[in-house]
Copies of this chain bind each other. A is one copy, B any other.
Amino acid sequence: MTPERALALLRHVPIFQGAQEADLLPLAERGHFLGLMRGRHLFQAGQTVESLYVVASGSVRVYRLARGGRRELTLHVEGPRQLVAGIAAFQSRAVYPAHAQALQSPTEVLALPVEAVRQAVFNTPTLAQAVIAYFARRQAELLGRLDSLVFSELGERLAAYLLDHAAETPHALPTNSELAALLGTVPEIISRKLGEFYRLGLIVLERRTVRVCDVAELARLAGHTVTAEDAAREAGR
């Protein structure tokens, strides 16, 4: 029974697209589903890597803690058909580099033993190729994240977030703490900045639902125009 469902899921995972059914089957056979309540952990940073996870439903947040645990930084939030610990699975000294917890209450994931995954990937050139492309993309994302965190200030990051998630449709905001973790700060500051944006008439807030009013100005704040002009200048030098 399980292999059926597992296979159905695997078939729809982006990086497994190129693979033959036959390559996926052994993987599906060795996987098992896991149900989690909101807040439950898939793994903690520092534990030795045993599985790679594919989200079946719900969503999973991957994050790192600052020493002392006072602050946390969300690295990514993965929805259905996305991988969790996809990179850690291929590290030699295999220890999870981050924590992962379920964000929504019925979250279901498929756990795949890492050796099985490694075997499947190493034996199937098309898979290896897909994995390489995936890693490359991930790394580019991470780089983007890095310099937005290092170079730009909170206002820009928040504006960018709002444009991403609430650009045209109203959007239910996560709690301030979740936002803070996402943007690399603390809840209080999120509250202040949102208030500021509201006072400037850029957004409307109604019971944790946000609607963007002034897209143009928000984009300016997010540094989009600047970045574009910048890229041009950079290239020209």
Contacts and interface: CB of A to CB of B under 8 A. Distances in A.
A91 B223 contact: no
A92 B128 CA distance: 15
Contacts of A121: 132
Interface stretch (A145-153, A191-199, A204-212): A145-153
Contact of A136 (B68, B88, B98, B230): B88
Contact of A73 (B45, B125, B151, B233): B151
A45 B140 CA distance: 12
A138 interface: yes
A89 to B, nearest CB: 8
A116 to B, nearest CB: 15
Interface string A124-139: 0100110111011111
Given A135-B135, A136-B88, A151 B67 contact: yes
A230 B69 CA distance: 8
A230 B133 CA distance: 34
B142 A143 contact: yes
A73 B64 CA distance: 22
Tallying the copies of this chain within the complex gives: 2
Interface string A144-181: 01110111100000000000000000000000000000
Given A67-B230, A68-B230, A73-B147, A91 B133 contact: yes
Contacts of A75: 143
A44 interface: yes
Nearest to A139: B87
A195 to B, nearest CB: 24
25 contacts: A44-B234, A44-B235, A45-B231, A45-B234, A67-B151, A67-B152, A69-B233, A73-B146, A88-B136, A90-B132, A90-B136, A91-B133, A91-B136, A91-B137, A92-B133, A92-B136, A98-B143, A122-B128, A125-B125, A128-B129, A128-B132, A132-B135, A135-B135, A142-B142, A142-B146
Interface of A: 44-47, 64-69, 71, 73, 75, 87-88, 90-92, 97-98, 121-123, 125, 128-129, 131-133, 135-140, 142-143, 145-147, 149-152, 184, 223, 226-227, 230-231, 233-235, 237
